[in-house]
Amino acid sequence: MSPTAVEVNGLEKHYGEVRAVDGITFSVAAGEVFGLLGHNGAGKTTTIRMLTGRARPTAGRAFVAGLDAVTDRDRVKPLINAVFEDPNLYDRFAGIENLRFFATLYGVKPSRAEELLDLVGLRDAAKRKAKTYSSGMKQRLMIARSLINSPRVLFMDEPTRGLDPTSAREVRALVAQLAREGTTIFLTTHYMEEADDLCTRVAFLSQGRIVALDTPRELKLRYGQRTAKVLLRDRTEHDLRLDDPQDAAKVADWMRADQVLTLHSQEGTLEDVFVALAGRPL
């Protein structure tokens, strides 16, 4: 079994009367891409803030890379990094200056900045001020920044939010590449397809609580509806529920009568799972 990269036990964060995170427990194995999904305000960002040492939990404990995220905060920091929901670059600095500043903070070689610009395809824009970058370029620069210290655990908070489809695809490809190279990735996203593509396991967070946690396939099988789309020779299409005995009988009749032109099984989507669990779509 892989060693644990993140372990969370009964973690809570209260802001006055509001329980932003309400007793969540889960673990993430090293090298895993773990997705935390939920509505705005479900507690995703607060969870990341606690795991990255930027907020102190009200209750419960969290371990990152085997160290207590609160009491060992200063030892955890060099082992992690994060990509944030909103672009948060030094606008008046060039791309390369942004990276070199963080290289200095982390005590790594300045040449690491150039390597990362190559990795994210921004070498040609290295000397341009960050404020002149497009949204996609800013996101890629943030990813480069998050890799400056070669983190063991990388937290990514909505890394493709607001990006055009091409930029989003580039970012997803980068995430997939990092995962292949063994970085543990803790991802929050609104995009169910993104989670389905990238994550080995996902947890659904609703009102600060985890309401489901498993692999995307298992969740879809457990909570999604098993359906099939049938196209008959008369060019009519029918959506049938595989769990419904009457629909199953219909399919059998059409098959015997050689009426069926095509038949496609359709498993549920993570969106369906989320609606089933949270009562409303994302």
> Of residues 81, 184, 188, 189, which one binds other proteins by CB under 8 A?
81
Q: Select 146 or 167, whichever has its Cβ closest to other proteins.
A: 146
Structure tokens at 223: 């909570």
Residues in contact with 26: Cβ distance below 8 Å, sequence separation at least 6, in sequence order: 6, 8, 34, 203, 210, 213
Q: Select 15 or 222, whichever has its Cβ closest to other proteins.
A: 15
Task: Report the distance separating Cα 222 and Cα 214, nearest Å.
Answer: 10
Is residue 154 near other proteins by the rule CB under 8 A?
Answer: no
Cβ of residue 149: shortest distance to other proteins, in angstroms? 8
Is residue 47 near other proteins by the rule CB under 8 A?
Answer: no
Q: What is the CA radius of gyration of the chain?
A: 22
Question: Pattern of binders to other proteins over 53-72, x per CB under 8 A?
Answer: xx-x----------------
Cβ of residue 52: shortest distance to other proteins, in angstroms? 6
Q: What are the Cα distances from residue 141, in Å, to 173, 228, 281? A: 15, 43, 31
Cβ of residue 108: shortest distance to other proteins, in angstroms? 11
Stretch that binds other proteins, among 100-108, 233-241, 244-252, 263-271 (CB under 8 A): 100-108
CB atoms within 10 A of CB 28: 24
> Of residues 77, 128, 209, 238, which one binds other proteins by CB under 8 A?
77
Q: Which residues of 113-127 are buried (b: 16+ CB within 10 A; e: fewer)?
A: bbebbebbebeebbe
Q: Please say whether the dihedral angle defined by the alpha carbons of residues 127, 136, 138 and 30, taken in this order, is positive or negative.
A: negative
Cβ of residue 169: shortest distance to other proteins, in angstroms? 25
Edge to edge, the sheet with strand 80-83 lists: 80-83, 153-157, 184-189, 33-38, 201-206, 209-214
Is residue 226 near other proteins by the rule CB under 8 A?
Answer: no
> Of residues 11, 42, 80, 99, which one binds other proteins by CB under 8 A?
80
Interface residue list for other proteins (CB under 8 A): 52-54, 56, 74, 77-78, 80-82, 84, 86, 88-93, 101-102, 104-107, 145, 149
